[in-house]
């Protein structure tokens, strides 16, 4: 594994490299970063990483990975406040919501979040028996979070669209069985497209229920890359932002290459030029 370095280099050159790609004007919504993208930097130096993220221009972060759940959340919030960063949402594992619900609520409130997102479901929950029970738990978690003044959302990967319960996909079951007033959706556009979904058709299907997008680009051979360096037409997808009801746009790259900061700078500059 490559060594992680806390550097920010070549920002101007990166901006020049993709400036010729035709995109719409600036978004009216802040550009956020899912911190899982820089998880190893963050784990080694959380406060320094937040400083670097803010220096790029990000104004929102979504916590996930990097061991943030065991850190000093009050200290993280103090640093965020100093840097002008907000954390509207954070990722909490399904199992943790079930076993450490009160701690998750306290963590979210300390960090200033309004929504807790379940980010992933391991293989054991992707069965005909387990998945409907999990969706029922989502409804239960969401109802309990509402009493605490918090929202709930689910973040997809590709398996929800490819794994089936009978003749329905897991996503079909999620959409049909969730409480739509309580369970919102964080759509990972890359993974939905990877699974063969038409992103605009998906957005229309769940119109008004999209809490956030995860924005990462895809190369011609299907690999992840910085926003603006791939083939996904985000400008076209974002024509449906009002239909979606989307509130937040989080850059994410599950496989961001070291030294990481140039990658998230490219994505920030590109996404900042897209109209909400």
Give alpha helix (H) positions in the chain: 11-18, 39-44, 46-56, 73-83, 94-99, 101-111, 130-147, 159-162, 170-177, 189-194, 199-205, 234-237, 241-244, 261-272
* Residue 123, CA distances (Å) to 105, 133, 150, 195 in order: 26, 14, 28, 17
Q: Which domains does the chain have, with CATH numbers?
A: 29-272 (3.20.20.150)
With 0.95 as the threshold, say if the pTM is over it.
no
pLDDT given at position 275: 56
Which residues, 6+ apart, have CB-to-CB distance to 82 below 8 Å? none
Q: What is the pLDDT of residue 26?
A: 42
> Quick one: CA torsion of 36, 40, 43, 47, rounded to 10 degrees?
-80
Residues of the chain with pLDDT under 70: 1-28, 275-276
User: Which residue is listed with tokens 């918090």?
Assistant: 150
Strand partners, 168: 165
Residue 98 CA to residue 118 CA, distance in Å, equals: 11
Strand-pairing partners, residue 164, are 169
The string over 39-53, giving b where at least 16 C-beta atoms fall within 10 Å of a residue's C-beta and e elsewhere, is: bbbbbeebbebbebb
| pLDDT for residue 238 | 97
Give the DSSP letter of residue 220: T
CB 251 within 8 A of CB 195: no
Q: What share of the chain is helix, strand, coil (3-state, %, to 5)?
A: 45, 15, 35
CA angle, residues 108, 271, 85, in degrees to nearest 5: 30
DSSP label at residue 75: H
């Amino acid at each position: 594994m490559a060594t992680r370095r806390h550097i920010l280099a070549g920002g101007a050159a990166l901006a020049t490299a993709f400036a010729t790609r035709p995109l719409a004007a600036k978004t009216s919504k802040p550009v956020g970063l899912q911190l899982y993208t820089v998880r190893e930097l963050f784990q080694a130096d959380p406060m320094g990483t937040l400083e670097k993220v803010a220096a790029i221009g990000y104004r929102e972060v979504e916590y996930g990975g990097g061991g943030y759940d065991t850190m000093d959340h009050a200290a993280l919030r103090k640093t965020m406040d100093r840097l002008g960063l907000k954390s509207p949402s954070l990722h909490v594992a399904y199992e943790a919501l079930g076993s450490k619900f009160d701690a998750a609520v306290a963590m979210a409130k300390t960090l200033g979040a309004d929504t807790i997102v379940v980010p992933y479901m391991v293989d054991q929950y992707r069965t005909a028996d387990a998945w409907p029970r999990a969706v029922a738990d989502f409804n239960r978690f969401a109802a309990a979070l509402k009493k605490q003044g918090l929202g709930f959302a689910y973040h997809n990967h590709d398996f929800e669209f490819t794994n089936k319960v009978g003749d329905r996909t897991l996503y079909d079951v999620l959409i049909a069985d969730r409480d739509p007033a309580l369970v919102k959706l964080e759509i990972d556009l890359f993974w939905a497209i990877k699974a063969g979904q038409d992103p605009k058709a998906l957005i229309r299907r769940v119109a008004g229920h999209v809490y956030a997008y995860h924005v990462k680009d895809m190369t011609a051979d299907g690999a992840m890359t910085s926003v603006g360096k791939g083939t996904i037409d985000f400008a076209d997808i974002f024509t449906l932002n009002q239909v979606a009801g989307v509130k937040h746009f989080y850059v994410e790259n599950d496989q961001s290459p070291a030294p990481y900061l140039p990658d998230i700078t490219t994505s920030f500059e590109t996404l900042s030029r897209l109209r909400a």
